[in-house]
Structure 1
Amino acid sequence: MPDTVLPELQNNKVVGRLQQYALPLAVAVLVIFHVVGFWGLGLSGRPAYFQSLTPLNLLLTNALLFGFHRGWTGRFLLFAAVVFAAGFLAEVLGVHTGLLFGNYIYGETLGTKLWEVPLLIGLNWLMLVYATGNMVQKLPVHWLLKAIAGAILLVVIDYFLEPVAVTYDFWSWHADIIPLSNFIGWFGLSLLLHIWFQKMNFWKQNKMAPYVYFVQLLFFIALNLLLK
């Protein structure tokens, strides 16, 4: 056996071990970061400091999610660009006209804004559509029903997100009332973006997706319980 074969086999074993532990490690980082965020926002007595870390939390979550994506093809990049732009521009329209979601404005927590909307909002739409799209992909149903299921998952997380967002200055609603139009608008836009997800041909088996969704969902549910 040539001498070069043994190092190659050893390298393959190392890579295999790293791949084996990549998902558990990523999930652990995701959970720890959200547990710290929960403690910081709800129990530390220093919520303003932890609010300022919200963009970092969102960027880290995206890095963990898309770090497990395979196949960075032109079609996937087109999908991502369209979802990012559609989500961001829908929020711009919503903030300036009250259409789609209702009358609301963004606070300072989510960072740098363009046209009164945080740039990270487009990334948040992309993360949620991509994660829920991967989650429903294995359902043994027609693609349109998958799109509807994905849109419902987005509305569920928004339902628990809204009170948290208002409390911690993500955004605020006119007269402090979250209108029904917000959830209708979320479902409508989510459905369109999920149809786009279903019709685009790219790799859709991201194992990190359900962890991102459910960790965030539990995070918002826990904060809701704390706020009551």
Structure 2
Amino acid sequence: MTVNNRSVVRNVSIYVLWLLVVVYAVVKLMNSVLPLHIPTAIGLLIPIVFWLLHGALRYKWSGILTFLVLCLVVSNLLENTSILTGFPFGHYYYTDAFGPKLFQVPLLVGFAYFPGYSAWVLATVLIGDIDRKSSAFTTFAVPFIASFGMVANDLGLDPTISTINHVFIWEQGGGYFGVPFTNYVGWLFTAYVLFQLFALFLRFRRTDSKEEVSAFPKSYYAQAIIVFAVVGLAYVVSYLSGSGDTLVTDAMGVVWHTRSIAEAEATVSIFTMIFIAALSTVKLLQRSATATSASIETGSGETTTREISPELK
């Protein structure tokens, strides 16, 4: 494929991605205000399609499909291990709410990990992308930071799907609305293993040395930030629009108010997911402003911009 053809494909793909961003934002936020009762599989389909295309643009299909396979394998292995031994998440089990299982873990769970790719993209905005020229520090730092971004989403998700919806049951309950501390430590560990394996794949995979990675527009990274922020914002919208309050009981017999759960999830989301999205936005704008300023000062435009920020031109 020639450079011109590659550029056309990329531009068309960016427009398609924007369409998916809008559709996802509308569906996600509307579902928080007026429950549309969208099946979980369909609710996962839009972000999965978005991240497949988004990831393929940056890492090619071989790269993003490798990430998907890692999600399926790592999640199933470690979740089955935890169900059997308690490591790394704690003691719990899945009900039949998520459909067919591979051993003790629903097949759908592996695909639910895949949108965690958004945390990876935001981490690359904050720290830098990973390729064959990346330093050992970057190869470690990006997965480390991305892991916290992935756990941030889980902080807003687990009390609802566990204590309220009973998708999985914590056998000994937990202090965070029926979810234990070990769950989030386990999530951090699992996410780090997943992201670190992907980072090593990118760092050492063979690529065509003659193929230059051309600059991606800021909008490409903005799309990832918006999708990540929409997930966090949905918890806030759900709390603000909700009026009902019922009582739910966890496996240990502790009673919780659903309104309190929604309030906690909204609060946590503002200061984790939405904060991370805001920080990434500032970083994106800062790099762009720095590159533009340097270009004006030197009068060497494109060359200087590429040297300072090749991926955020």
Give the alignment's TM-score, normalised by structure 2.
0.57
Match of 1:21 in 2: 15
Structure 1 residue 113 and structure 2 residue 101: aligned?
Answer: yes
Match of 1:215 in 2: 230
* Shift of residue 168, structure 1, vs aligned partner: 2.1
Match of 2:151 in 1: 155
Match of 1:11 in 2: none
Q: In the TM superposition, what whole-angstrom CA distance separates every residue of 1:57-112 from its partner, at most 9, and x where no partner exists?
A: 01222112212222112x54334322320112211222233221112222333332
* Shift of residue 20, structure 1, vs aligned partner: 5.7
Q: What is the alpha-carbon distance in structure 1 between the residues aligned to residue 114 and residue 10 of structure 2?
A: 30
Q: Which runs of 5+ in 1 are unaligned?
A: 1-13, 45-49
Q: What is the alpha-carbon distance in structure 2 between the residues aligned to residue 108 and residue 182 of structure 1?
A: 20
Match of 1:194 in 2: 195
* RMSD between superposed Cα atoms in Å: 3.0
- The 1:173/1:156 distance shift into structure 2, 3 A limit, reads same
Q: SS state of the match for residue 169, structure 2?
A: strand
The aligned amino acid for 2:156 is F
- The 1:61/1:77 distance shift into structure 2, 3 A limit, reads closer
Match of 2:171 in 1: 174
Structure 1 residue 136 and structure 2 residue 123: aligned?
Answer: yes
Match of 2:80 in 1: 92
Q: How does 1:63-82 map to 2 (within 5 A)?
A: 63-68=49-54, 69-70=56-57, 71-73=60-62, 75-82=63-70
Structure 1 residue 57 and structure 2 residue 43: aligned?
Answer: yes
Q: What is the alpha-carbon distance in structure 2 between the residues aligned to residue 97 and residue 29 of structure 1?
A: 41
The aligned amino acid for 1:57 is G
Match of 2:29 in 1: 35
* Shift of residue 40, structure 1, vs aligned partner: 4.6
* Shift of residue 15, structure 1, vs aligned partner: 7.5
- The 1:223/1:113 distance shift into structure 2, 3 A limit, reads farther
Q: What is the alpha-carbon distance in structure 1 between the residues aligned to residue 152 and residue 10 of structure 2?
A: 37
Q: What is the alpha-carbon distance in structure 1 between the residues aligned to residue 65 and residue 237 of structure 2?
A: 34
The aligned amino acid for 1:210 is I
Q: Higher Cα Rg: structure 1 or 2?
A: 2
* Shift of residue 147, structure 1, vs aligned partner: 1.7
Q: What is the alpha-carbon distance in structure 2 between the residues aligned to residue 113 and residue 148 of structure 1?
A: 30
Match of 2:299 in 1: none
* Shift of residue 175, structure 1, vs aligned partner: 4.1
**Percent identity of paired positions between Structure 1 and Structure 2:** 23
Give the alignment's TM-score, normalised by structure 1.
0.76
Pairing partner for 2:91 from 76, 96, 103: 103
Q: What is the alpha-carbon distance in structure 1 between the residues aligned to residue 22 and residue 105 of structure 2?
A: 31
Q: In the TM superposition, what whole-angstrom CA distance separates every residue of 1:127-171 from its partner, at most 9, and x where no partner exists?
A: 21x221121113346322222111111111111111121212332
Q: What is the alpha-carbon distance in structure 1 between the residues aligned to residue 120 and residue 21 of structure 2?
A: 19
- The 1:34/1:157 distance shift into structure 2, 3 A limit, reads same
Q: SS state of the match for residue 72, structure 1?
A: helix
Q: What is the alpha-carbon distance in structure 1 between the residues aligned to residue 104 and residue 9 of structure 2?
A: 45
Match of 2:186 in 1: 185
Q: Which runs of 5+ in 2 are unaligned?
A: 1-7, 129-136, 206-212, 243-258, 261-313
Q: In the TM superposition, what whole-angstrom CA distance separates every residue of 1:13-63 from its partner, at most 9, and x where no partner exists?
A: x9898556323321111012212322354xx7xxxxx2x611210122211
Number of residue pairs aligned between Structure 1 and Structure 2: 206
Q: What is the alpha-carbon distance in structure 1 between the residues aligned to residue 50 and residue 82 of structure 2?
A: 29
